[in-house]
Structure 1
Amino acid sequence: MTGFTMKLLTLFLCLSLTVVAFVSSADVKDDEDVSMVKFKKFKNRYRKKYNKGAQCSYYRRWRNRKKMVFKHNQAALLGNSSFTLVDNQFADETVEEWNSLLGLVIPGQFNLKKLGIKDLTAVDPNKSAEDRQVISSTITIPSSLDLRRHRCMPPIKSQLTCGACWAFIATTSVEFQSCLKNITTPVRLSEQQLIDCSRDYDTNGCNGGFYTNAWDYLINMGGQVANATYPYKGTAGSCQYSQGITKVSGRLSRYIYLDSNERTILSALLQRGPITVSIAANSKFILYSSGIFDDDSCKNGTINHGVVLVGYGRANGTDYWIVRNSWGTSWGLNGYILMKRNVNICRLAEYAFLALL
């Protein structure tokens, strides 16, 4: 019996077991939209390989989620949802594997009041004239902003299976601000440095961290090195950075908490650049495809993921944020998602920070 025949037989047995399980439930029908052929195409599309004996479990998870995607998208076609889903590269994974995509951990004894300033428009006599005010309260707010193609916006990256979203979003802000201040082209900085070297600042490598802790490390250690010097590996390792010896390409001087106010967040984004935020990501967020994400089920969820606000707009009467993720360009809208604005979607406004050079 050939290897190909064995694979087909394994999938046939998976389907048989699944059908038996579903036939026993009066509420679920076997859906012709889900099939072994489509699962094979899914595997090929994302170059999936499973450990021996695990394929049945992955197949059943993918099949159930594809049914959920189909049902949701049918509702979207009828106007009952403003966004669509897709069986993307995460559709077959376990909850534990999904958790490895996240990795945001809010530090214990976190005191937001100590991290910000009360009035972002207040004059700071200790700063230069160009930087005395964090944001102006007198500017006109345009109807939209999109920094995705800004000259200082780095390309979308992928954290792979390392739970280091905190390092990626911390790095995006430093990259953008460093480009604005010092150079005319994007700078690519090292997330791996943060993963390997900031453990004394209450981060835990690929097992989670928080972006302000990463910034504390960078402020105290002198800056961030280029990715070319310290490339990303997707796993935690020993620190290869030596303060005062290793050349840095990006720096940070301070960061400011934006007081859970989406109007303030928008003004800061418009005037100063990307805003780093935390969200409660759920299964629909993970399987997002297009449209304006407005799922109410995440409003009371646990904050577990970090993303970056890079713009805003309005479509079909709905205000939205343009949000940058760190799961590669095959996720969402080439690595981005539109999320409903002015409703604290997925708790997005609660831990918003502006990082500055």
Structure 2
Amino acid sequence: FCEHRFKSSPTFSGGSMFYFGVFQETGKSLSSEVKMKTQNERGLMLASLLLVSLCVEAAAMLDVRLDVHWELWKKSHGKTYPNEVEDVRRRELWERNLMLITKHNLEASMGLQTYDLSMNHMGDLTTEEIMQSYATLTPPADIQRAPAPFVGSGADVPVSVDWRLQGCVTSVKMQGSCGSCWAFSAAGALEGQLAKTTGKLVDLSPQNLVDCSLKYGNKGCNGGFMDRAFQYVIDNKGIDSEASYPYRGQLQQCSYNPSYRAANCSRYSFLPEGDEGALKNALATIGPISVAIDATRPTFAFYRSGVYNDPTCTQRVNHGVLAVGYGTESGQDYWLVKNSWGTSFGDKGYIRMSRNKNDQCGIALYCSYPIM
């Protein structure tokens, strides 16, 4: 709202006629200001009435049969809104997403889909809001791909791999509304190599990467990329543990302490661009691999189980995740992917993404891993 202020009147001297003239002009100015203020107040009143009217109209369109479910969902996810208008707006989004989920699962029950969806903590958000908060990856345009030995079909590797079973994957994390997916992906790849090399599974600090790798082109909570995080760790000669440098979900002053260094790496490598065979080979022999995907499909946010297969998924990657294995389920080849959207996402924080479907969602475009 604009705040209207009257200017203080100057000190006058001289005859009464002059004073009267100034008073008369000031009176006109005051009258004009009062009229303007009155008009603004009326405008605000009309706007408020319109907003209330729209709120009532929207509320009338809501499904009353879902009232109890809406309240239970809000309670289970700790959702509160500043006013009734926002509550109604979020309820509309929630019902729309619930309809998407219900329709999709009906198709899945008829064998038309290879995966199921379920409502989760993102049910009251638009796709745009989810992307702004959770998927802000910014792939560099000048990637220097180091020669990688993983070329070919990967025919000589196991039919399935799951690095969780080898003790090389830490618990699923929640990045929150900070666009730090890239930091969690990089930390996860480093954790995997540390565990594979030393036998010790240690949670490393994504916050360390968020706060301290700005000069490498990363943007804290506004996006970044995994190779830049690896380069920071190389130059910094280490990364702190999560226990010593806990996640805050916002950009802070860099507080790296070499006394709490938990891991290091000497270099990193990219896999051949778009080569799913190379990714399979690397997962079988190297360990968890940092990958980038397109996570903009509405179905992605509400994935629950099965093999995620969306032909509309593009090669425009925007979200950093960690590939921790691969396999086949009900005849569908998949990549096992660890997300950073908490355990209420997907299958306890994981998603099985389609494999051998022309690099669906661009998962093999920017695969990278650190070398201890």
Which TM class, normalised by the smaller chain length? 0.7 to 0.9
In 1, the alpha carbon distance for the partners of 2:218 and 2:159 equals: 38
Look up the equivalent residue of 2:300 and give its one-letter code: F
Between the aligned partners of 1:97 and 1:313, the Cα distance in structure 2 is 32
Given residue 220 of structure 2, which amino acid in structure 1 is its aligned partner? G
Where 2:307 maps in the other structure, the secondary structure is: strand
User: Is the aligned partner of 1:341 residue 2:328?
Assistant: no
Alpha-carbon distance between aligned partners in 1 of 2:308 and 2:366, rounded to the nearest angstrom: 19
Q: Using structure 2 for the length normalisation, give the TM-score.
A: 0.80
Q: What is the DSSP-based 3-state SS (H/G/I as helix, E as strand, rest coil) of the residue aligned with 2:369? A: strand
> What CA distance in whole angstroms lies between the structure 1 residues aligned with 2:269 and 2:56?
53
Structure 1 residues 274 and 15: CA distance shift in structure 2, 3 A: farther
- Structure 2 residue aligned with 1:43: 74
Task: Work out the CA distance in 1 between the residues paired with 2:304 and 2:193.
Answer: 29
Aligned-residue RMSD, C-alpha: 2.2
In 1, the alpha carbon distance for the partners of 2:278 and 2:153 equals 9
Asked whether 1:178 is paired with 2:194, we answer: yes
- 1:120 paired residue number: 149
**Equivalents in 2 of 1:151, 1:296: separation in Å?**
33
Select the residue among 154, 162, 168 that pairs with 2:178: 162
Indicate the residue corresponding to 2:240 in structure 1.
225
1:54: how far off? 1.2
Render the CA deviation track for 1:207-238: whole Å, top value 9, x for unaligned. Answer: 10000011111111101011111111111100
> In 2, distance between residues paired with 1:186 and 1:275?
16
1:234 has 2:249 as partner: yes
Q: 2:290 matched to 1:276?
A: yes
Residue 88 of structure 2 is matched in structure 1 by 56
Does the C-alpha gap of structure 1 residues 292 and 61 become closer, same or farther in structure 2, counting only changes over 3 Å? same
CA apart distance, 1:205: 0.5
Question: Does the CA-based 8 Å contact 1:152-1:187 persist in structure 2?
Answer: no
2:229 partner letter: A
- Greater share of helix residues, 1 or 2? 2
Letter aligned with residue 120 of structure 1: P
Aligned positions of 1:208-357 closer than 5 A: 208-241=223-256, 245-259=258-272, 260-281=274-295, 282-300=297-315, 302-343=316-357, 344-357=359-372
How much does 1:256 deviate?
Answer: 1.4
| Structure 2: runs of 5 or more not aligned | 1-53
The aligned runs of 1:2-21 (5 Å cut-off) are 17=58, 19-20=60-61
5+ unaligned residues in a row in structure 1: which ranges?
1-12, 21-29, 122-134
- Which structure has the larger Rg? 2
Aligned-partner residue type, residue 47 of structure 1: G
Aligned-residue sequence identity (percent) comes to 36
* 8 A contact 1:146–1:311 mirrored in 2: yes
Q: Does 1:81 align with 2:126?
A: no
Q: Deviations over 1:38-88 (max 9, x none)?
A: 111111111111122311110000011101110111011001100111121
2:100 corresponds to which residue? 68
